[in-house]
Amino acid sequence: MNGPRCLIVDDSADFRDAARAMLERGGIEVVGTACDGEEAVRRAAELRPDVALVDVDLGAESGFDIAERLCDIPVILTSTHDEQDFADLIAASPALGFLPKFALSPTAVMRLLGKDS
């Protein structure tokens, strides 16, 4: 694959599996997944992805905090909630942007990365 290498961080195994399948069909290589912040930081250091897709709500953890901890990797935040619910937090975060889970697609990820799809 020639697309970007992605790490998916989400506490839902079903979402991680579905997102992996959909992104890989679109040419994005999913190099790993994580279910919480500690695992995300460890996997990011091991795998050196080009982008991390991070759920805003990881149970007891905040995806915004994880975005701060993954400071060397571009982060795209995602959620089942509407972007307006988090607008101020998204604007204040180091994340590239936000994608609602229903709108997640290889094209949307590539657009946020500033690459042609």
Q: Which residues in the chain belong to E strands, given as ranges?
A: 5-9, 29-34, 51-55, 57-58, 61-62, 75-79, 97-100
Average pLDDT, the chain: 91
Tell me the mean pLDDT in the region 26-35: 96
Report the side by side order of strands in the sheet with 75-79.
29-34, 5-9, 51-55, 75-79, 97-100
Rounded percentage of the chain residues whose pLDDT exceeds 90: 76
Percent of the chain with pLDDT over 70: 97
Give CA torsion, residues 27, 64, 59, 105, to 10 deg: -20
Domain coverage including residue 27:
5-113
Average pLDDT over residues 9-13: 95
Count of CB atoms within 10 A of residue 14's CB?
8
In this prediction, residue 116 carries a pLDDT of 63
Instruction: Please give the average per-residue pLDDT across 69-98, as a whole number.
Output: 88
Domain of 34, CATH number, reads: 3.40.50.2300
Count the domains in the chain. Answer: 1
